[in-house]
Structure 1
Amino acid sequence: MREGSAVITDLASFAQVLRQHRRAARLTLEQLADASGVSVRTLSDMERGRSKGPQHRTVTALADALSLGEADREQFIGLARDGRLRDHWARPTGLGELPRSVDDFTGRAAELAWMDDFVHAGDVPGAAGVALVTGAAGLGKTTFAVRAAHVLRSAFSGEVFFVDLFGMSAQPLAADDVLAHVLRALGTAERQIPRDALERASLYRAILRERRMLVVLDNARSEEQVRLLLPGGGPSRVLVTSRRLLAGLEGVQRLSLGPLPSGEAAELLTGILAKRGSADGAAAIGELAQLCGGLPLALRIVGNRLVSRPGWSADELASRLADEERRLGQLRAGDLEVANAFGMSYEQLVVSARRVFRRLALVPGHDFDAALAAVVAGVSIAQAWDALAELVDLGLLHDNASGRYRFHDLVRLFARERLHAEEPAADREASAETMTSWLLRMAVAAGRWFEPAYGGPGRPDADLAELSSSEEAERWLRADADNWLGALRQAAGEGRHALVLECAESMHWFSDRWMYWPSWEEVFTLGVRAAEALGDAAQHATQLNYLAWVHLVPPMDLQGVLRLATQALDLATRSGSRAQIAWAHQYAGTALRHLGRLGEAADSLTMAAQMFHTDSDMDAYVQSLNALGDILVADGRHEAALEQFQQVLSQLDDKDSGMSPDIASFTRSQTLARIGHCLSLLGRPAEAIGMLNEAAALLEKFHAFSSQARALETLAGILAGEGRGEESRHTYARAAEVFDMIGEGDAAARCRDQAAAQG
């Protein structure tokens, strides 16, 4: 607040605040009029309380002219907004009159059908007859409620009453005041309205029990505010809207509004833009709808801006909105503003929850859990749970059954804006660095679970989330992939090469479990660059070999594999890294087999197998043996291939083989599939069916979906040949599902065609 200004309480009126700020600035009405562009007469009306809620642009012009600080400015604008709402409520248009419904209302068909069922459901003894519609700011709860009330008005003989509870205002309406207002609207004489709130509620419920009416209570702040306003049975219905979940209300039917689907969002925008009289391209409208995230308020603002500016094109506005730094600023039209809508919810938060909300804007991924929220906000896990619950309650975050949280895209931008406005750069950078370090250390700890001879977590960093099994580690790596990958990018950009290299190195064996994740190439490319920057030739070769593996994942780039393996072999030879020399031969041999160069492939893979065996790396050795078996299959030597795979299986089942148990189990699933395929080629269908069924189940357990899909396709073909058409059809259909999941559309289509043929 400016030095020398009067202390202004939250309960002051807009007129009082304006007058006090003008006097503190030592301005006459004429001087303020000159500075703001607002007429003297208008200013006089405001200060005398005749104009309680001037328009947003007028208020901001006055705030600028008065040089108000941030806190004073927020209060000033908020009082004007409340005044506009109260002025609208108090207009002489009939007590509790339902606002008009917008002509271009679009979508919400399922929700309107839900409301119809609610209204026309038979009376149930003891039921409250209350519907609660909740949702975040900007989702159109009021618009929906008004639309539903207009559509269903005939079911109540026109007796529909609307009350704005001003739940987001600094001065929400008290329940007893609302009761008095509604009782007047229902025709109760002033002298018959009881003074006591409970007596008013009793009279209100009695009237609702005798008449069939719909009461819309819009913008509720709390359970306490609406509890006395709920009916006690009878034919009447009450519809409550709120940004909060109001979880304490019992016996109510709940409807949660979400963003509009992309088609409905584009349809709404198209309807608004029809008033322009000019054709806007469907592509530009679709892009605008996407940038608005299906938020009706944002769509309305975008549409209104274009309608009010005929010279603008939808393409031009889409281009402006594409810039995240400017998007929220562009989503403003007159007194409609997306940031203001979010700001009203933000102001309801306690200080600690505001801090958590702001800091969550730093999270790089699409969603997060409470552990990451605690790290980035610098609070305990218990404090994080409390803050997240409050954010979900107000619609500033969405949660799901798996304990993950996410922002709406526009809310994330608002959180980022608040972070930059309210926290110093040093604090933001420190928080981001802490989060980046934590995510990468978590990724390394999780990735280590899949390494050969891993003995468990040992004594991990005390601040890391606990991972007590490989299953938990895999769940974390998958769920937080966007987050630790974002942290890896951040660390690479900051030149933290050792941290980047450690993370990439820890992913080697885990990547086999999730080979179709599209970001492995980026992970290992960053690893290559980090090793090169550190001048570590052995690690440089290692990361090049990992990158060669990525190029073997369908759709394969076999020439790329050979190029990378050659580079890795050269670096490994110069650095004396026998393990990486062997892996370079392994990947080159696999690529050569796919290219049909079987002799060269056998030479490379034999070299790899010999080196792995000499170095007692049994985990890698059996991979080479299986790859040599694949060459025998490709060469038509099916009996020899079967014998090779059976020898591998014996070694995998030998507890004294020296293999890591997890890798042995994973490799076993792959080997069983190979044996099943060989048995099929050798005309032994009964044995092949049993082997492939076992293999497919294990491969699914290990998320080896590519191998699983191929095993299922082979199995389905054998079943068809045995005349087991229904089993074959089902298996082909399952194979198609898995191929679709990993993005192999041609293979999926092939399997669906085969399934149809069996049907």
Structure 2
Amino acid sequence: MPRQTSPFGDCLRASRRAAGLTIEQLAERSGVSARAISDMERGHSRAPQTRTLAALADGLGLDDDGRAGLTAAAKEARSPSAAGRPRLCEPPRGVTDFVGRRAELEIVRHAAKHAAEIDDPPPVLVVHGQPGLGKTALAVRAAHELRDDFPDGCLYVDLRGVDATPLPAGDALLRLLRALGVQPNQVADSDDERSAQLRGILRGRRCLLVLDNAGSEAQVRPLLPAGGRCLVVVTSRRALGGLEGVLRIALPPLAPEESADLLRAIARQAADPQTAPQVDRVTDLCGHLPLALRIAGTRLSTRPHWTVRHLVDRLADTGHRLAALSTGDTGVATAFALSYTQLPAPSAQLFRRLAHVPAADFAAPLAATLIEAALPDAEDRLEDLVEVGLLQTESVDRYRFHDLIRLYADERLHAEEPSDTRAETAERMNTWLLDTVVVAGRWYEPGYGGLPDGWAGLAPLATLEEADAWLRAESDSWLPALRTAAAQGRHQLVADVAAATRWYSESTLRWRGWWEVRRLARAAANALPDRRQQAFHTSLYAWTAVQLMALYEEATEAAMEAYRLAQFVGDPQEQARALSSAGPAWLNLRRFDDALWAHRTGCELADLGGDHDLYVDHVVGVGHALEYLGRYDEAVGEFQRALTELDGRPVAARPAFTLRGSAMYGVASSLDRAGRHQESLHAVERALPLLIENRDDDFVAFALVLRGKARAALGQPAEARADLTRALELLAGSLPSRLEDEARVMLPTLDGAGPADLTRDLEALAASLDSRLETEARATRAVLDGTDPA
């Protein structure tokens, strides 16, 4: 066979011989491998890139004319009309508006540097993630950026891993071998022999391999070099967990600012600074998915009469968003479908039915409920979805949909399952959620405190901590389930959920969802014939209005309605419960005598009804009413009486723990108001451990304010500053309060203001606090009346 010639190869050989160098000597001088130089001279590889060309010229010791001749020969070899074989496995054209991915590109650059230093084994990077993230764009970008660092070749193969028939490993091996200069009659016959042949060639070369769109480990393994100064970048929707010794890069959606930059680069309408809010809205609706953003930008750029607002309006319709994110032969739904069609039937069923889940994330027990499967089976199916990029892992045991993939799941659900099946699945999910809420919530009830006999639910609820974790994690699922139950008229179930979570709500008071729970429960109870339930849930509604929403007028009205209902049915316990909400509401309305009446009457009624928990709660309430009336010694006496009653009455363990901390705090608070700082400091330090153990951030913060005030008065400014600063951190996001504002006023005074200044500031603060509370309550009421409280 005649020798293959190349203008550059001939020029390089002539220059080397003129310099009196062997191939090995030139390789040593230039840093370019001997195999690569040999292939260049024989025309078996393309002309080198700029860096390699400069290294060869330096190694040859060429003068300016010699360098110019070598450069001209390289340009001629690269030209489209140059003779020689076609360039096989050439990377595709990269996108010109590539944005972001700085961290990921830096990882690839670092791996390339590592590959130049160590040749056994070469680094392998697996870029993986859900469809549409731009995995190929990243790999191609890296290939073009780094190709000069790999003078022996930058090779690309599309493995078509999500096609119905992926590229066989043997075919991929053939393409790579041909691209590396192996003649057809020299290619080995079997796949194993071809794989060994590839490894042998790559061991002596410095190549960059991009194996795009891999479908499985078996497709990739035969293509990996065992030695040589090479770098391999694999892209896949799967993590390819079976590959050992590889570095995996999980590709996330773009950052919001990157998404906006991409949209502006594609569509001129989006480049107008005045459209920034609409651009941000488009990027959110596209879920920051590069494929979706590129399609949205293309649709905008090809319609000059459109504004960004037009695009927002089209994408805002969830029923048509996927259709809007399609152009030409490219579409977001099409990309998702390639993964969906690879799923086994049971996993595809779970994928569809997960569209029923209202929350952003979920765990395996909920998935098992949707498909009526055992927990291990559900976990296996979830992992199938993760494997093909249709589901993301949120944490160790939780999963999350990308917003657009959720829409696709819902699309498949409505296309493939009849309406009665969908309704049955949704009903099963909602019932399971609410039944589990009742079981979990009753861990906190004095009369329960554990699992019911024979309970074998899917959720882990074996301890109080597990119950708390489940209730918090699944709140965005079980609250919508409660709404659905209320809309369906399942009044008793709604009331049961609210009753079961009564005690639990006290430990999660800042969650605004309780307001909706209580509103739904009150309406449900009013639809039932049981007046006692009506009184109970109206009292809970009043309590939430006080403790969570600062709606004090509304709270007193609801509390007294509950009181009258309880009087009607002759239930002293429910009367006492209603007054336990009226008392704090009147305190905040500065109706201290009314509050004192409510709590003293509540003591009598709770004692009559045999409710020891409520009795002590009202004793503490009497103490606070006396404190606000300025009768500090009497208040201290009532708080101490509460502690004595806790020792003598059979109060349930958890309420007793909470009430003890509250009474001890009340002693410290009353002594603080009386100006007895040393005694207040002693009392608050006794109360703090209980308050911390009870995990009530508001009470802990208030106690820290009391301790900070006492320390400041006793000449300990540094310690006082630390207490007040920590208290304000804990109170972030809570309802406004006198103590919080006192802490804010006191902090600057610790650096030099005198007692007179502090007294004046605190008096002004007290005068303004009531109006601020009233304003906040009105604002809260207006928001809730106009929007969904969830």
- Using structure 2 for the length normalisation, give the TM-score: 0.80
The aligned residue for residue 121 of structure 1 is: 114
The aligned residue for residue 663 of structure 1 is: 655
**Are 1:304 and 2:298 counterparts?**
yes
The aligned residue for residue 427 of structure 1 is: 421
Q: Deviation of residue 570 (structure 1)?
A: 2.8
2:133 alignment partner AA: L
Q: 1:459 aligns with which of 446, 453, 458?
A: 453
The aligned residue for residue 468 of structure 1 is: 462
Indicate the larger mover: 550-559 or 181-190. Answer: 550-559
Q: Deviation of residue 387 (structure 1)?
A: 0.3
The aligned residue for residue 141 of structure 2 is: 147
The aligned residue for residue 53 of structure 1 is: none
**SS of equivalent residue, structure 2 residue 527:** helix
Q: Determine if contact 2:161/2:213 at 8 Å carries over to the other structure.
A: yes
The aligned residue for residue 111 of structure 1 is: 104
Indicate the larger mover: 405-414 or 147-156. Answer: 147-156
Q: 2:258 aligns with which of 261, 264, 282?
A: 264
1:182 alignment partner AA: L
Q: Deviation of residue 609 (structure 1)?
A: 1.4
**Are 1:615 and 2:602 counterparts?**
no
Q: Deviation of residue 692 (structure 1)?
A: 3.9
Q: Describe the shift of the 1:516–1:133 C-alpha distance in structure 2 as closer, same or farther (beyond 3 A).
A: same
- Correspondence 1:81-96 to 2 at 5 A: 94-96=87-89
The aligned residue for residue 72 of structure 2 is: none
**SS of equivalent residue, structure 1 residue 139:** coil
Q: Deviation of residue 638 (structure 1)?
A: 2.8
The aligned residue for residue 57 of structure 1 is: none
Q: Determine if contact 2:680/2:706 at 8 Å carries over to the other structure.
A: no
The aligned residue for residue 530 of structure 2 is: 536
Q: How far, CA to CA, are the matches of 1:310 and 1:744 in structure 2?
A: 51
Q: How far, CA to CA, are the matches of 1:689 and 1:462 in structure 2?
A: 49
Please list the CA deviations of residues 278-298 of structure 1 after superposition, one character each: whole Å capped at 9, or x if unmatched: 776111111111111111111
**SS of equivalent residue, structure 2 residue 537:** helix
2:113 alignment partner AA: H
Q: Determine if contact 2:375/2:458 at 8 Å carries over to the other structure.
A: no
CA RMSD of aligned residues (A): 2.6
Indicate the larger mover: 710-719 or 157-166. Answer: 710-719
Q: How far, CA to CA, are the matches of 2:732 and 2:739 in structure 1?
A: 8
The aligned residue for residue 190 of structure 1 is: 184
Q: Determine if contact 2:571/2:609 at 8 Å carries over to the other structure.
A: no
Please list the CA deviations of residues 126-158 of structure 1 after superposition, one character each: whole Å capped at 9, or x if unmatched: 444111111101111111111222222332248
**Are 1:337 and 2:331 counterparts?**
yes
- Correspondence 1:318-357 to 2 at 5 A: 318-357=312-351
Q: Describe the shift of the 1:212–1:747 C-alpha distance in structure 2 as closer, same or farther (beyond 3 A).
A: farther
Q: 2:561 aligns with which of 563, 567, 578?
A: 567
**SS of equivalent residue, structure 1 residue 260:** coil
Q: Determine if contact 2:270/2:279 at 8 Å carries over to the other structure.
A: no
The aligned residue for residue 643 of structure 1 is: 637
The aligned residue for residue 44 of structure 1 is: none
Q: Determine if contact 1:360/1:377 at 8 Å carries over to the other structure.
A: no
Q: 2:666 aligns with which of 669, 674, 679?
A: 674
Q: Determine if contact 1:452/1:663 at 8 Å carries over to the other structure.
A: yes
Q: Deviation of residue 686 (structure 1)?
A: 6.0
Q: Describe the shift of the 1:338–1:633 C-alpha distance in structure 2 as closer, same or farther (beyond 3 A).
A: same
Q: Determine if contact 1:276/1:307 at 8 Å carries over to the other structure.
A: no
Q: 1:213 aligns with which of 207, 211, 219?
A: 207
Q: How far, CA to CA, are the matches of 1:716 and 1:401 in structure 2?
A: 39
2:653 alignment partner AA: P
**Are 1:631 and 2:622 counterparts?**
no
Q: Deviation of residue 724 (structure 1)?
A: 4.6
Q: Deviation of residue 215 (structure 1)?
A: 0.7
Q: Describe the shift of the 1:669–1:294 C-alpha distance in structure 2 as closer, same or farther (beyond 3 A).
A: farther
Indicate the larger mover: 494-503 or 706-715. Answer: 706-715
Q: Determine if contact 1:548/1:561 at 8 Å carries over to the other structure.
A: yes
Q: Deviation of residue 708 (structure 1)?
A: 2.2
Q: Deviation of residue 163 (structure 1)?
A: 1.1
Q: Determine if contact 1:132/1:241 at 8 Å carries over to the other structure.
A: yes
Q: Deviation of residue 464 (structure 1)?
A: 5.0
- Correspondence 1:287-298 to 2 at 5 A: 287-298=281-292
1:672 alignment partner AA: M
Q: Determine if contact 2:708/2:721 at 8 Å carries over to the other structure.
A: yes
Q: How far, CA to CA, are the matches of 2:365 and 2:174 in structure 1?
A: 48
Q: 2:245 aligns with which of 243, 251, 274?
A: 251
**SS of equivalent residue, structure 1 residue 551:** helix
**SS of equivalent residue, structure 1 residue 454:** coil
Q: Describe the shift of the 1:238–1:613 C-alpha distance in structure 2 as closer, same or farther (beyond 3 A).
A: same
Indicate the larger mover: 450-459 or 420-429. Answer: 450-459
Q: How far, CA to CA, are the matches of 1:197 and 1:743 in structure 2?
A: 70
Q: Determine if contact 1:443/1:484 at 8 Å carries over to the other structure.
A: yes
Q: Determine if contact 1:439/1:487 at 8 Å carries over to the other structure.
A: yes
Indicate the larger mover: 348-357 or 538-547. Answer: 538-547
- Using structure 1 for the length normalisation, give the TM-score: 0.83
Q: Determine if contact 2:122/2:229 at 8 Å carries over to the other structure.
A: no
Identity of aligned pairs, percent? 40
Q: How far, CA to CA, are the matches of 1:719 and 1:226 in structure 2?
A: 68
The aligned residue for residue 273 of structure 1 is: 267
Q: Describe the shift of the 1:233–1:671 C-alpha distance in structure 2 as closer, same or farther (beyond 3 A).
A: farther
Q: How far, CA to CA, are the matches of 1:494 and 1:412 in structure 2?
A: 25
**SS of equivalent residue, structure 1 residue 740:** coil
Q: Describe the shift of the 1:451–1:224 C-alpha distance in structure 2 as closer, same or farther (beyond 3 A).
A: same
Q: Determine if contact 1:280/1:313 at 8 Å carries over to the other structure.
A: no
The aligned residue for residue 383 of structure 1 is: 377
Q: How far, CA to CA, are the matches of 2:218 and 2:120 in structure 1?
A: 20
Please list the CA deviations of residues 467-522 of structure 1 after superposition, one character each: whole Å capped at 9, or x if unmatched: 22322221111111111111111111111112111112212111111111111111
Q: Deviation of residue 317 (structure 1)?
A: 2.1
Q: Determine if contact 1:129/1:233 at 8 Å carries over to the other structure.
A: no
Indicate the larger mover: 736-745 or 240-249. Answer: 736-745
The aligned residue for residue 225 of structure 2 is: 231
2:258 alignment partner AA: E
Q: Deviation of residue 608 (structure 1)?
A: 0.9
The aligned residue for residue 711 of structure 1 is: 703
Indicate the larger mover: 726-735 or 170-179. Answer: 726-735
Please list the CA deviations of residues 92-141 of structure 1 after superposition, one character each: whole Å capped at 9, or x if unmatched: 97311112221221112222222222222364574441111111011111
Q: How far, CA to CA, are the matches of 2:364 and 2:686 in structure 1?
A: 38
The aligned residue for residue 504 of structure 1 is: 498
Q: Deviation of residue 695 (structure 1)?
A: 4.3
Q: Determine if contact 2:153/2:207 at 8 Å carries over to the other structure.
A: yes
The aligned residue for residue 412 of structure 2 is: 418
Q: Deviation of residue 243 (structure 1)?
A: 0.4
Gaps of 5+ in 1: 1-91
Q: How far, CA to CA, are the matches of 1:593 and 1:279 in structure 2?
A: 51
Q: Determine if contact 2:691/2:699 at 8 Å carries over to the other structure.
A: yes
Q: How far, CA to CA, are the matches of 1:93 and 1:314 in structure 2?
A: 44
The aligned residue for residue 313 of structure 1 is: 307
The aligned residue for residue 732 of structure 1 is: 724
**SS of equivalent residue, structure 2 residue 352:** helix
- Correspondence 1:30-45 to 2 at 5 A: none
Gaps of 5+ in 2: 1-84, 752-790
| Larger Rg computed on CA atoms | 2
Q: How far, CA to CA, are the matches of 1:699 and 1:306 in structure 2?
A: 58
1:662 alignment partner AA: R
The aligned residue for residue 38 of structure 1 is: none
Q: Deviation of residue 661 (structure 1)?
A: 0.7
The aligned length equals 666
